Amino acid sequence: MEFNKWEVYKILKKNKNVDIFLPETALLKCSDDAFDMINCYKSIFIKPCIGYKGIGIIHATKISKNKYNIYYYIKNKVCFMTLSYIEMDTLILKQIRNCYSIVQRSIKLLKHNKCPVDFRLSICKRLQDNCWHCKRILGLIAANEQTITSLEYGGKIIEYDKIKFNTNIQNSKTKKEMLSISNRVAEILESHFQDIKIMQLDLDFAIDYTGGVWFIDANPYTIYGSI
Q: What is the pLDDT of residues 118-142, one digit of tens each?
A: 999 999 988 888 889 999 999 999 9
Average pLDDT over residues 111-124: 91
10 Å CB burial of residue 91 (0-12, 13-18, 19+) is: buried
- Tens digits of residue pLDDT in 214-226: 999 998 874 334 4
Q: Is the pLDDT of residue 36 over 90?
A: yes
Least confident of 74-83, 101-110, 194-203, 216-225: 216-225
Q: Which domains can be identified in the chain, with CATH numbers?
A: 24-105 (no CATH), 111-226 (3.30.470.20)
- 86/189 Cα distance (integer angstroms): 40
CA dihedral defined by 27, 28, 31, 33, rounded to 10 degrees? 20
Query: Per-residue pLDDT tens for 137-188?
Result: 999 999 988 899 998 898 999 998 888 776 677 777 889 999 999 999 999 9
Instruction: Give the chain's end-to-end CA distance (angstroms, integer).
Output: 5
- How long is the chain? 227
pLDDT band, very low/low/confident/very high, at 210 (cuts 50, 70, 90): confident
Average pLDDT of every residue of the chain:
90
Q: Give the mean pLDDT of 200-223.
A: 88
Q: Which of 10-14, 62-66, 110-114, 153-157 comes out lowest in average pLDDT?
A: 110-114
- Letter string b/e over residues 58-72, b meaning 16 or more CB atoms within 10 A of that residue's CB: bbbbbeeeeebebbb
Q: State the pLDDT at residue 226.
A: 43
Separation between Cα atoms, residue 144 and residue 126, nearest integer Å = 38
The pLDDT > 90 percentage for the chain reads: 71
